[in-house]
Structure 1
Amino acid sequence: MKIVVIGGTGLIGSQVVSHLEKAGHEAVAASPSSGVNTLTGEGLNEVLTGADVLVDVANSPSFAPDDVLNFFTTATTNLIEAVRATGVGHYVALSVVGSDRSPQSTYLPAKVAQEKLIRESGLPYTVVRATQFFEFLGAIADSATQDGKVHMAPVAFQPIASADVAKAVADAAVAAPVNGAVEVAGPDRSTFDEVIRQALASKGDTREVVTDPKAPYFGQVMNDETIVPIGDYDKGATKLADWLAAHAGK
């Protein structure tokens, strides 16, 4: 199969491309550096011609709310038009678990808008929703730091290794469209504050993590169902403790 991966040079995309190539597929990494721009539409029809599957794992370069919404709605609209024009048979997109339960978020409503455009396009599709990546725990702590202390809510949290997300996306790309969403999360469920404590400790970061039930996550005040799967989901293989040990001090 020929599979075009939008955002194919990024953290997830590069691993998706690797998975697909190892499985014997023709995986094309598409990004602005390769002349493919989803915001302008440049290069989309050319790269998608002859492709069986489109995988979209690109992310907004700016996390300002208006910028994020504009990125995902514009890019997705252009991708839908290009898929229709070239006859690609399966649209796979990466989204986030709990997006539809986070209306106050500065980021996640844009993912809801992206999913809606894909769902209503009439194209065969699969949305893979993942929880937060292990690789981003440090950045999450930084964003929640006030006066040198990290304020985190004691709500259910189930992050996942990016490698396991990439495998889930690659698996979806070579399977039949489900015309719906599948969810994937890490194998361990703990609380947001405790996971961040573990992540900081593994790096020798001495910042105090303050348990604060009202602490928001990118603008969203959370509960135990906000950012974890509800119902059926697939578990990633990588345990948090093992991943932190492998990346200790890095």
Structure 2
Amino acid sequence: MVTPARLSPFAAAGWWALDYLDAAKQQLRVLTVPKTPKRWAIGDAGKPTILLLPGVYEHWSFMAPLGDALNTHGYRVQVAHGLGANLLAIPETAERVWRALARIPTPPEGRVVVAHSKGGLIGKRLLVRDVDHRLDLRGLVAIATPFRGARLARYLLDPSMREFDPDSATIVELSSVASVNSRIVSIFGVFDPHLPEGSSLAGATNRLLPVAGHFRILSAPETASAVIAGVESLSAPPEAVAEAAAEVVAAAAESEAEAEAEAEAEAEAEATIAQTSSKGRA
């Protein structure tokens, strides 16, 4: 399991300050980017449409740099309006997003969710519900998402933050569902002041970037490159992604079986040599 680095208290405090300074700047972006850019509606019809989901206390504009980067690479980009600062419970928010997506035509090449923090948990819940591929959700690219929860949330009074407690019903429920993990790309930095547990997810594609911060990671060029690569890897239909994952699992099992067979053969050879040596001494 990949986890962020441990820093000295002084270094961690410095990154905390820089991270919140960046968050404050991104909060101001809502004033300069009040509406989604019209160009985001234009893209390559042969590529999936991107749905951006921000984290808690975040407006969709937090993810505007990633939206621009994806659109530049030919992807049409959508946002879920009406979420406000994303303070509602994860199940309720996922339900709202589901209903909103169900009301509009499904893009020919499906959708890929690109999400930050809490948005990644909402995205995973959407994947779990889309078992019949009604919304044709190809996968999820999650950035700094607390898939295993965040123990720091236990000490907070805000209900919207307490939801990230590792023992909360939502985290426990989502953690117990691994069937969609192969369709998730989890991206995180070397240090996240909010998630000491890290964002690594078993069964998913985990990408550790040389970036620090829970918010600063959103505007890092390394993140944009990793997100685009993640979206490209998930662009195939769910059936094809599942088939590819099954092939990887089968190949790993075959490799493990071969290794066990070789180990047994070596053990038998060593036993034969030991018996021969014993007879020679006799």
After TM superposition, is the score higher than 0.5? no
TM-score scaled by structure 1?
A: 0.42
Q: Which of the pair is proportionally richer in helix? A: 2
TM-score scaled by structure 2?
A: 0.38
Q: Which of the pair is proportionally richer in strand? A: 1
Larger radius of gyration: 2
